[in-house]
Each structure stands twice: as structure tokens, then as C-alpha cells.
């Protein structure tokens, strides 16, 4: 027995050479074409270098030759799960620059659509996170419920993912006559389905073992690395722009900013789960009170921004999305910069994953909820 113990102790002390492996660009847990160059010793991660740009599409360059209403259509293609919030950011930026006040109806509908979009995004995140952890069932549960939201989008906007709904000056179309009925039916249904999610995954022993106490991010580091959205809020960084810098109709609703001071992978999971309840509550407060009125203000045929620099921040499902427009008074912008939440969030990964095992890296990555076109732009 003593001999055996001696052998075990010595194997503990064996050090292996450091080696590099490429996780991705085809690895399923990177959710797209992201390559992580991981420096490992045995199973322990020593360094993670994200390599991006595989689907860099030059959206900022393209935007320089397009008119302002056209830019909105490109933003759909960046973070395709927060397509509506991205549209809204461009629309708000242009409206603020021109000092156009949109009707209340537009604000209410934009807020409802943003929250539906957030719900759909969190549902997809939840089901894919389960799949990363080896639970394929979650994938079917999540996609089943997400389908209802996409159907609502399709009915009102004509598209399921790239909605193109918010345009400078208002909305592309008015809501479908069935919109309110369908949304209310969805909320009623999803309220019974969300506890199912908890029963399926939240208490699962394998899942909690792999996520609780894994991959800590402190509040100071979250701020220093600019980690926003549910990922930042799980570390206690109060960064919800809906609360702190309200836009559209967020100042007319009551909701809680979900914060956690734990900062581990499970906290990031819990924050997103709790946010789904808050999103439903926001929709419920607005859906019966959509004011009558126009769904858009009449804009000039050619939208020209005054000379200057304009910035607009909105809260997407992944965090803070920013649009920075430099205008020289022409019909197309001089320079557009998109501050995408995933970009800043991704580069905190080296800081978080250091010292954890490579299997933990998968868990950490999945709670970051990365969308690669959002990072690559």
C-alpha cells in the first residue's frame, strides 16, 4: 500500500512539456469560426490566444459607401441573434443626430421587439450551452420555444433572423394584427416552459460540478476588460444600459437589473436565466398598452446627418453595443465604428481561463455566449 502511495505521489509531480493546440476554427464549442490557440501543460491551460478574422466582412468599410438607412441592414448580419437591437442602435443614432422624435408607438414596439429578441437569443444560448456540456436534449427544448418567437418575427417583419425592422425614423411596417395576441400566447406558454429548463439543467449534478466555482472574473477585471452584458453583470458590474441610460420605452417599465457578485460560470448561467423572466415581465407591461399612432415619422428621401460625431449605446443580449458615426454632412457616413460586445468580452478569456482545465475552457466559453460575426464584423 505504501509503495502504491509513493507511486501516486510521484505521478502527481510529473511535469510535462508545454504544448500548443488549436481549438477551432472548426471546434463545435467555439460556435463559429473562432480559433483559440491554447497553451497547455497536461490538461491545465496556461495561455489562450484568440485568433479572429476568419469571417471578417469589412462592414465598417462597406458602411462608408452606403446611405444611413442601408447601414441598418448590415448590422443585422453582425450579431444575428440581436439583430433588432443592432438595428435600433443605428436608428437611434441617426434620430439623435437629426433630433427626430419618434412616436410613442414606435418606442413601445421597439422595446417589445428588443426583449423578444433577447429572449430568443438567451434561449439559443441555453440550448447550446447544454449541448456543450454534453446534454443534447436541451438543444431541442430551446429551439422548440425559440421557434414561436421567430414565427412572431416572421409575421411582423417578414424575416426570422435578419429582421430589418427598426429604420431611422421608426419602423419598417406596422405590427401584424395578430402580434399582440401571439406575443401574449407565447408569454403564457413560455412561463410554463422556463421552469422546465431549470428542472432539466440548472440542478443537474454533472452540469453544476462543471460550472460552479469555475472560471472566476472579478468586478474590477470585468470593468477593466470592458466585459458587459450578462457576463459582466454576473461579476457584479452594473452595466445594464436599459437601466442606467434608458432609451426607447425602458424608462416606462419596472424591471430589476440582475446582478451577481460570484462571478463564476454558474453565476453567468443564473444571470441569463433570471434575465429571461425580466424580459417577459417587460413585455407584459407594454404589450397591452401600445399607444395608437404612426409607426414611423416621415423622413426625407435622402437622409443627411449634420457634420459631427455621434455615438449611441444600446444593450443587446450579449452586452453593450455601440455605434459611432463620423459625418461630414454627406448622405453616407465618413466613418462608422461598431463597438461590439462580443469583441471586448472575448479577450477577457485569457485572463479567466488561465489555470483551469481545458474542459473548463469549454464551459467558460459557452457562458460568454459568443457570436462570431459580431466579433469579426
Partner 1 sequence: MTNEALIAAIDKIGAEAETRQGAQYVETFVPFAKMHVFMKHLKEDENLSFDYLICVSGVDHADHMQMVYHLESTKHNHMMVVKVKTDGRETPAIDSVTDIWPTAEFHEREAFDLLGIHFINHPDLRRMFLDDNWGHPLRKDYKDDIHIVSR
3-state secondary structure of 344: helix
Cα 155 to Cα 179: distance, rounded to the nearest angstrom = 8
Which of residues 150 and 223 has its CB atom nearest to partner 1 in the complex?
A: 223
**CB 330 to partner 1: min, Å:** 13
193 or 335: CB nearest partner 1: 335
Exactly one of 147, 309, 330, 359 binds partner 1 (CB under 8 A); which one? 309
Contacts of 13 (CB under 8 A, 6+ apart): none
CB of residue 308 to partner 1, shortest distance in Å: 6
Contact 325, 97 (CB under 8 A): yes
Q: Where are the beta strands (DSSP E) in 152-291?
A: 166-167, 170-171
Tell me the per-residue interface mask from 204 to 243 with partner 1, x by CB under 8 A, - otherwise. Answer: -------------------xxxx----------xxx----
> CB of residue 260 vs partner 1: minimum separation in angstroms?
16
Q: How far is the CB of 58 from partner 1 (least distance, A)?
A: 6
- Taking CB under 8 A as the criterion, which residues in 270-289 touch partner 1? none
> What is the Cβ-side half-sphere exposure of residue 147, based on CA atoms within 13 angstroms?
7
| Residues 6+ away with beta carbon under 8 Å from 45 | 38, 39, 353, 354, 355, 356, 357, 358, 360, 361
**Which is closer to partner 1, CB of 58 or CB of 134?**
58
Does 353 help bind partner 1 (rule: CB under 8 A)?
A: no
CB of 70 to partner 1, least distance (A): 15
- Contacts of residue 198, defined as CB under 8 A and 6 or more positions apart, other chains included, come to 273
The answer to whether 244 contacts partner 1 (rule: CB under 8 A) is yes
| 376 touches partner 1 (CB under 8 A) | yes
Write out the binding residues for partner 1, residues 107-146 only, by CB under 8 A.
none
Asked if 178 and 100 touch (Cβ cutoff 8 Å), the reply is no
| Residue 313 binding partner 1, by CB under 8 A | yes
The 3-state DSSP class for residue 130 equals: helix
How many whole angstroms separate alpha carbon 350 and alpha carbon 73?
33
* Of the residues 240, 320, 369, 374, which one makes contact with partner 1 according to CB under 8 A: 320
Counting beta carbons within 10 angstroms of the beta carbon of residue 235, is it exposed (0 to 12), middle (13 to 18) or buried (19 or more)?
buried
- The single residue among 326, 331, 354, 358 that binds partner 1, judged by CB under 8 A, is 326
User: H or E element: which one contains 50?
Assistant: strand 44-51
- Is 158 a binder of partner 1 (CB under 8 A)? no
Interactions with partner 1, residue window 48-67 (CB under 8 A): 52-53, 56, 58, 60-61
Cα-only R_g, the chain: 22
Shortest Å distance, C-beta 339 to partner 1? 4
Q: How many residues bind partner 1 (CB under 8 A)?
A: 33
CB of 22 to partner 1, least distance (A): 17
Candidates 73, 176, 331, 337; binder of partner 1 (CB under 8 A) is 337
Q: How far apart are CA 157 and CA 161, in angstroms?
A: 10
Residue of 87, 332, 344, 367 that binds partner 1 (CB under 8 A): 344
Question: Shortest distance, CB of residue 179 to partner 1, whole angstroms?
Answer: 33
The two beta strands, 44-51 and 166-167, are unpaired
| Minimum distance, C-beta of residue 88 to partner 1, in the bound complex (Å) | 17
**259 Rama sector, left if φ>0, alpha if ψ -120 to 50, beta otherwise:** beta
User: In the complex, what is the shortest distance from the CB of residue 224 to partner 1, in angstroms, rounded to a whole number?
Assistant: 5
Q: Is 86 in contact with 80 (CB distance < 8 Å)?
A: no
Half-sphere exposure in the Cβ direction for 174 (13 Å, CA): 11
The one-character DSSP state at 53 is -
Residues that bind partner 1 (CB under 8 A): 52-53, 56, 58, 60-61, 96, 223-226, 237-239, 244, 308-311, 313, 320, 322, 324, 326, 334-335, 337, 339, 343-344, 347, 351, 376
Amino acid at each position: 500500500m505504501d509503495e502504491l502511495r509513493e507511486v501516486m505521489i510521484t505521478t502527481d509531480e510529473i511535469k510535462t512539456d508545454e504544448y500548443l493546440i488549436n481549438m477551432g476554427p472548426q471546434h463545435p464549442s467555439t460556435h463559429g469560426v473562432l480559433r483559440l490557440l491554447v497553451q497547455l501543460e497536461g490538461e491545465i491551460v496556461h495561455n489562450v490566444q484568440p485568433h479572429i478574422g476568419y469571417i471578417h466582412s469589412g462592414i465598417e468599410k462597406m458602411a462608408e459607401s452606403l446611405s444611413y438607412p442601408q447601414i441598418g441592414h448590415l448590422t443585422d448580419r453582425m450579431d444575428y441573434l440581436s439583430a433588432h437591437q443592432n438595428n435600433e442602435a443605428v436608428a437611434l443614432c441617426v434620430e439623435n443626430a437629426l433630433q427626430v422624435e419618434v412616436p410613442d408607438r414606435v418606442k413601445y414596439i421597439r422595446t417589445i421587439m428588443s426583449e423578444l429578441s433577447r429572449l430568443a437569443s438567451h434561449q439559443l444560448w441555453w440550448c447550446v450551452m447544454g449541448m456543450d456540456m454534453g446534454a443534447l436534449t436541451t438543444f431541442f427544448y430551446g429551439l422548440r420555444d425559440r421557434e414561436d418567437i421567430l414565427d412572431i418575427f416572421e409575421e411582423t417583419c417578414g424575416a426570422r433572423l435578419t429582421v430589418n425592422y427598426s429604420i431611422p425614423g421608426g419602423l419598417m411596417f406596422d405590427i401584424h394584427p395578430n402580434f399582440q395576441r401571439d406575443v401574449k400566447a407565447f408569454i403564457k406558454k413560455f412561463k410554463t416552459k422556463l421552469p422546465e429548463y431549470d428542472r432539466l439543467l440548472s440542478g443537474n449534478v454533472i452540469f453544476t460540478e462543471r460550472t460552479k466555482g469555475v472560471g472566476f472574473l472579478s468586478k474590477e477585471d470585468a470593468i477593466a476588460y470592458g466585459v458587459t452584458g450578462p457576463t459582466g453583470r454576473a461579476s457584479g458590474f452594473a452595466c445594464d444600459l436599459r437601466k442606467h441610460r434608458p432609451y426607447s420605452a425602458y424608462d416606462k417599465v419596472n424591471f430589476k437589473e440582475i446582478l451577481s457578485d460570484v462571478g463564476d460560470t454558474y453565476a453567468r448561467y443564473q444571470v441569463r436565466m433570471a434575465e429571461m423572466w425580466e424580459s417577459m415581465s417587460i413585455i407584459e407591461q407594454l404589450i397591452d398598452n401600445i399607444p395608437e399612432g404612426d409607426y414611423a415619422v416621415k423622413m426625407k428621401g435622402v437622409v443627411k446627418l449634420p457634420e459631427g460625431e455621434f455615438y449611441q449605446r444600446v444593450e443587446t443580449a450579449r452586452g453593450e453595443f455601440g455605434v459611432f458615426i463620423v459625418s461630414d454632412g454627406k448622405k453616407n457616413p465618413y466613418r462608422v465604428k461598431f463597438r461590439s460586445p462580443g469583441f471586448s468580452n472575448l479577450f477577457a478569456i485569457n485572463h479567466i481561463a488561465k489555470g483551469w482545465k481545458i474542459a473548463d475552457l469549454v464551459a467558460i466559453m459557452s457562458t460568454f455566449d459568443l457570436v462570431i460575426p459580431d466579433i469579426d464584423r
